[in-house]
Structure 1
Amino acid sequence: MVLRKYKMPKVTTISISMKHLVVSHILLSLAGCSSLFLLPAASDPHSFLKPVETSPDSVTLEIFQVRLPANNQELAEEIWQAIDELRLPVEARHELVRNGFRAGVVGGALPDGLAAHLNLQSVQPETTPERVITGGNANPKVTRRVVQLSRQESATIQSAELRQSVHVFMNEDSGIHGRSYHQAEPTYSLLAQAISGQRVVLQLIPELQHGELKNRYAGGDQGIFLMTQSREKESFDKLTIRSELAAGEMLLVSCLPDVSGSLGHIFHAQDLRGPLEHKLVLIRMLQVPGSEILATLDR
Structure 2
Amino acid sequence: MLSANLIKFRSGSEIPNKRQGIAPSLKGFWIFLCLACAIPIFIGCRAINKPKIRNATPLAALEKAPSQTELEVVFVRIPPRDQEATNLLWQEVDELAIDAKFRRELHKNGFRVGVVGPNSSGEIQEILQSAHHARTGNVALEDVGDMQSTHAISRKVFLQRGQQSELLASSIQKEFQMLEMHDGKLVGQTLNDGQAQFIVKIQELKNAQVTLRLIPEIHFGAFHNEYIPGDGMFQLQTSREKKRLTRLQVDADLQPGQILIVGPQADQPGSLGHRFFNEQSADKSISKIMMIRLCDFPITELESADDNDASD
Partner of 2:279: 270
Candidates 63, 77, 100, aligned match of 2:110: 100
Question: How much has 1:153 moved relative to structure 2?
Answer: 1.5
Partner of 1:168: 178
Q: Which runs of 4+ in 1 moved over 6 A?
A: 296-299
Distance 1:78-1:55 versus aligned 2 partners, 3 A rule: same
Partner of 1:136: 140
Distance 1:76-1:223 versus aligned 2 partners, 3 A rule: farther
Counterpart residue identity of residue 215, structure 1? N
- Counterpart CA distance in 1 for 2:164 and 2:282 is 30
Question: How much has 1:296 moved relative to structure 2?
Answer: 7.8
Question: How much has 1:245 moved relative to structure 2?
Answer: 0.1
1:59, 1:194 within 8 Å by CA — same for their partners in 2?
no
Higher helix content, 1 or 2 = 2
5+ residue gaps, structure 2: 1-51, 145-150
Question: How much has 1:297 moved relative to structure 2?
Answer: 11
Candidates 60, 72, 76, aligned match of 2:86: 76
1:84, 1:104 within 8 Å by CA — same for their partners in 2?
yes
Partner of 1:233: 242
Distance 1:290-1:117 versus aligned 2 partners, 3 A rule: closer
Counterpart residue identity of residue 235, structure 2? L
Please give the root-mean-square deviation of Cα atoms over the aligned residues, in Å. 2.7
- Counterpart CA distance in 2 for 1:255 and 1:178 is 18
Percent of aligned pairs sharing the same letter: 27
- 1:218 matched to 2:228? The reply is yes
Question: How much has 1:168 moved relative to structure 2?
Answer: 1.5
Secondary structure, counterpart of 1:210 in structure 2: strand
- Counterpart CA distance in 2 for 1:135 and 1:78 is 25
- Counterpart CA distance in 2 for 1:132 and 1:255 is 28
1:49, 1:132 within 8 Å by CA — same for their partners in 2?
no
- Counterpart CA distance in 2 for 1:43 and 1:283 is 27
Question: How much has 1:293 moved relative to structure 2?
Answer: 6.7
Secondary structure, counterpart of 2:90 in structure 1: helix
Query: Deviation digits for residues 171-196 of structure 1, max 9, x if unmatched?
Result: 11141111110010100001014523
Partner of 2:101: 91
| Farther off after superposition, 157-166 or 222-231 | 222-231
1:198, 1:288 within 8 Å by CA — same for their partners in 2?
no
- 1:63 matched to 2:73? The reply is yes
Alignment of 1:1-20 (within 5 A): none
Question: How much has 1:118 moved relative to structure 2?
Answer: 5.7
Structure ID, larger Rg: 2
Candidates 239, 256, 260, aligned match of 2:269: 260
Question: How much has 1:45 moved relative to structure 2?
Answer: 5.8
Query: Deviation digits for residues 83-105 of structure 1, max 9, x if unmatched?
Result: 00001111211100110000000
Secondary structure, counterpart of 1:161 in structure 2: coil
5+ residue gaps, structure 1: 1-41, 125-130
